[in-house]
Chain A
Amino acid sequence: MHPFLLALAGGAVIGLAATFLLYFNGRVAGVSGIAGGLVGGAEGRPWRLAFVGGLLLGGLLLRFAWPEKAVFGALPARSPALLVVAGLLVGYGTRLANGCTSGHGVCGLSRGSVRSLAATLTFMATGAGTVLAARVLGGAR
């Protein structure tokens, strides 16, 4: 299948999963909000844990049931310290912004939220700037 078609199909499955969670649990499928609630001590621990566990289980299914597709690419070969910094930024930033690629990028844009549009444009811009900076500074992959 053409990579763009595969991307479109994968996106459609993501959209379906988000609607599923809304239909059954009445919740927005924002991964950072769901996981952040777990570490932040919010209510709804069981369903939050189950959702994050489901993400991992889906990953295992992909890995073992469909080994022909190389699902997991390696992370860019940089220092572990940089990886830790990136993780901290993603964790702290998404909580500060109340959403990430799923909460703002998919669910928020689907309901026409101006906040989510502003968030999505912002993280795409700084993401692109960071990739560019990494290229310019050498060290790039």
Chain B
Amino acid sequence: MRALAAGLAGVVFSLGLGLAGMTDPANVQGFLDFSGHWKPALAFVMGGAILVHAGSRWLVLRRRAPLLEPAFSVPGAAPVDARLLAGSALFGVGWGLSGYCPGPAFTSLAAGTVDALTFVASMLLGMWLFAAVVRRREARKEHPASASSSEPVDA
């Protein structure tokens, strides 16, 4: 059931991405292009998503728990740190270079192009590298208690 619900959420999510034009890298790069060819459409995508999600998540979170899990896994407030800014900066460079962020990249695998496949494989490798670095660092540290605090909850 959990997997079914998550799968359905993924399908709807990617239909939204496609409808919004996020699976066309030219739209994304056009949004990021301030040299006189700015395409503002992506701002409407984020605006529409935030409008709908901000309103409806509030209703959902009035429940004590989600339907299929014992509790919500929602990150709490945490301070802005160097790690957040450095990671976002790196991500932005890759995003600008390719026009792909993770969601549209997975959806674009359906196009069946070598480029999309190359990008997704590299992205997964990047994620794997990060996990490997974290594991190594935690293995070196001999304080098991600090392991959990070094890994903030995902946004």
- Chain A residues within 8 Å of B, Cβ to Cβ: 3-4, 6-33, 35-37, 39-41, 46-63, 69-76, 78, 80, 82-111, 113-116, 118-120, 122-132, 134-135, 141
Contact = CB atoms under 8 A, between A and B. Distances in A.
A14 B16 contact: yes
A9 B83 CA distance: 34
A89 B8 contact: no
Contacts of B51: 11-12, 15
Interface string B85-122: 11111111111111111110111111101011011111
A22 B60 contact: yes
Scoring A14, A46, A120 by chain B CB atoms within 10 A of each residue's CB, the highest score goes to A14
A10 B58 CA distance: 21
B138 to A, nearest CB: 12
Contact of B18 (A62, A86, A105): A62
Contacts of B75: 28, 98, 113
Contact of A21 (B5, B15, B42): B5
Given A41-B131, A89-B97, 15 more contacts: A7-B48, A13-B15, A14-B48, A18-B9, A25-B68, A32-B127, A56-B14, A59-B109, A85-B122, A97-B90, A115-B155, A118-B88, A126-B91, A126-B96, A130-B92
B129 interface: yes
Given A84-B122, A135-B35, A92 B127 contact: yes
B14 A55 contact: yes
A75 B100 contact: yes
B89 to A, nearest CB: 5
Contacts, number: 518
Contacts of A13: 12-13, 15-16, 19-20
Contacts of B90: 89, 92-93, 96-97, 126
A3 B42 CA distance: 10
B71 A15 contact: no
B128 A55 contact: no
Contact of A20 (B12, B33, B78, B153): B12
6 contacts: A11-B16, A40-B131, A85-B97, A86-B98, A104-B88, A113-B77
Nearest to B81: A115
B94 A31 contact: no
Interface in B121-143: 121-131, 134
